[in-house]
Chains A and B, each alone.
Chain A
Amino acid sequence: MSKGIIIFAHNNRQIDYIRMSILAAKLANKNLQVPVSLITDPSTIDWMKESNIEKTVTETFDNIIITQRPDDTNNIRNYDDGKYRVHAPFNNGNRCSIWDLTPYTRTLMIDADYLTLTDTLSNYWDIDSDLLVSSKYNDIQGSERIGYLDTHISETGVEMLWATTVMFTKNETTKMFFDLVAHVREKYKMYSDIYRFNPIIFRNDIAFSIARHIMNGYQKIEEPNLPDIFSTIDKDVLVDVNNSRLKFLIAQNNSDDYIATTVSNKDVHVMNKFSIMRNYDRLMELT
């Protein structure tokens, strides 16, 4: 059975996802010891060539899989960088295509802003479960910053899964699952009426949550999951990287009051992509 990691990278004008994915790939490859492949699009490839990182990309990734850029022109979201805010397209609507695109039998999909700093996820390759998704969000500040809609897709709806890390075996069951995710994406407005969530931005987390709920016979079923997603929100700022210690300024209860915190020996989802890029060289020293 072949094992490997997939990272999606579709650049927008504000965020260089492909550079970020190099970092995520190198960290994942170092700590999980499996190859990493990239799924990207022609315009991102053009940018890669223009910015002279083609060689690094080729050396980093096992495969570079070029697909159509998802049509997410109306999927605009706010990207915070500490106290500053940027609006940009959220090009993530094609995660459901991973089943068709992955070259691996057992695939781990991670976000480009997920920094794999441990080998924790290595323990999940051989678990007897076709599909593993993270079911919980673990905020760096603690439960105070976790709202109801971080744990459920709506007030009365199903529990939220976190599609930041997803592991699956390529078979008929997971094919059905990803087809269902694609269907939910296509009929997102309809599902927002049925599941009572806000459809303003397409979120893979919501589509994955609904698909799994349907696959489980519209019931909550206890099943194995990937570890909680240890996260910093985009209002938090990564300010320093020292050996394997990441120093963050944490926005206390989402306010403008910040407190310094250090993280080490943990995989971290750093939602503030701008602060990843500011610390890019220091982070690359960890690879």
Chain B
Amino acid sequence: MTFGYLIVVNDTDTTNYARLAYTLALSIKNTQKEGFDKVALVINDKTRIEGFNSTWVFDEIIEWDGAVHWDGRSYMDELTPWDATICLDADMLFLRDYSHWAEYFIKNSELYIANKAFTYRGDIVTNDYYRKCFTANELPNLYSFYTFFVKNSSLAKEFFNLQRQIIKNPELFANNFLFKYKPKVVGTDEAFALASKILDITDNIAYSLEFPRVVHMKGNVQNWPYGADDCYDHIGFYLNKKGKLKLGNFEQNDIVHYVNKETVTLETVNILEEIAWQKNK
């Protein structure tokens, strides 16, 4: 059985998703053990990664422009080249070896979706500032930023088919199922949660585990005494030359979903490239 990570991006002249995906792939190569470090990139235009120094960090590059914005991720089950896949958001960084998480899912699951997130200080996110729709409509608290699935699983197939229908018909599903609090946009998280609820499979695909641990850097869920649009207005993002990351005063060891797309600078990329080159020379 092949296993790998999958990153689906739709890059344009006004976005930098290709760079974010490249940075994530570098961090995966730098931290994961052999056999658990494969990365596939699905991108709307292959030329957008041509300028990067080390495109070898992508084991598979698949050009596909069948959807816009984040909708591409709703096809993750059809696009992946791997038998078992963990699909990630592009704006994330790996900071240590998480292969044992993947090993667990490969042995024990057909489909598993992250169902909690952490602040940069290590506390579980409980604030529903961005998830009023989830609370009001009693949706399971799923986060699509880390989704494990097995390609030939009937459970996964049924789930992804329904969530695709939700993404394609947001008004219909919102009017029928999310009427207590209609989200402005039915995104992947809402679609995943609603599909899970309709199919009544939450206990199978989002049961309680100590992992995956993903630090979610949205401003208003950090348990601060004030609201914050952008975390980085208040704390620093410090990546040292060894690839160790501190957010504010806190060293990060879990996957960091940094959210702000400007966080990854050329310096960040260069640091991770240097580490990758040292590791593979």
Summarize A's interface: helix, strand, loop or mixed: loop
**Inter-subunit contact B249/A148 (CB<8 Å):** no
Please determine whether A156 and B251 come into contact, CB atoms closer than 8 angstroms.
no
B225 touches A155 (CB 8 A): yes
Q: How many residues of B contact A (CB 8 A)?
A: 15
Name which residue of chain B comes closest to A219, CB basis: B251
Say yes or no: is A203 at the interface (Cβ < 8 Å to chain B): no
* Distance (whole angstroms) from the CB of A218 to the closest CB of chain B: 4
Instruction: Tell me the total A-B contact number using a CB cutoff of 8 A.
Output: 32
Q: Is the Cβ of A155 less than 8 Å from the Cβ of B234?
A: yes
The answer to whether A142 has its CB under 8 Å from any CB of chain B is no
| Most B C-beta atoms less than 10 A away, residue of A156, A157, A195, A218 | A156
Closest CB-CB distance, A148 to chain B, in whole Å? 4
- With both chains docked as a complex, state the minimum distance between the C-beta of A126 and any C-beta of chain B, in angstroms: 29
User: Does A77 interact with chain B (Cβ within 8 Å)?
Assistant: no
Alpha-carbon separation in the docked complex, A219 to B249 (Å): 8
B95-152: which residues lie under 8 A (CB-CB) from chain A? 121-123
Instruction: Kindly supply a per-residue 1/0 record for chain B positions 217-250, scoring 1 wherever the CB is within 8 Å of any chain A CB and 0 otherwise.
Output: 0000010111000000011000000000010111
Could you say which residues of chain B place their CB within 8 Å of the CB of A220? 121-123, 250
Residues of A close to B153: CB separation below 8 A: none
Known contacts being A148-B225, A155-B225, A155-B226, is A213 close to B249, with CB within 8 Å? yes
Alpha-carbon distance between A194 and B246 when the two chains are bound, in angstroms: 12
Q: Tell me whether B225 and A157 are in contact (CB under 8 A).
A: no
Cα distance, A116 to B225, chains bound together (Å) = 33
B253 an interface residue at 8 Å Cβ cutoff?
yes
A218 touches B122 (CB 8 A): no
Interface contact B224-A219, CB-CB below 8 Å: no
Q: How far is the CA of A156 from the CA of B233 in the complex (A)?
A: 11
- Chain B interface (Cβ < 8 Å from any Cβ of A): 121-123, 222, 224-226, 234-235, 246, 248-251, 253
- Residues of A in contact with B (beta carbons under 8 Å apart): 148, 155-159, 194-195, 213, 217-220
Listed by A's residue number, 18 A-B pairs whose Cβ atoms lie within 8 Å are: A148-B225, A155-B224, A155-B225, A156-B222, A156-B224, A156-B234, A157-B248, A158-B121, A158-B250, A159-B121, A194-B249, A195-B249, A217-B251, A218-B246, A218-B249, A219-B250, A219-B251, A220-B121
Closest 5 CB pairs of A and B: A218-B251, A148-B225, A220-B122, A156-B235, A156-B234
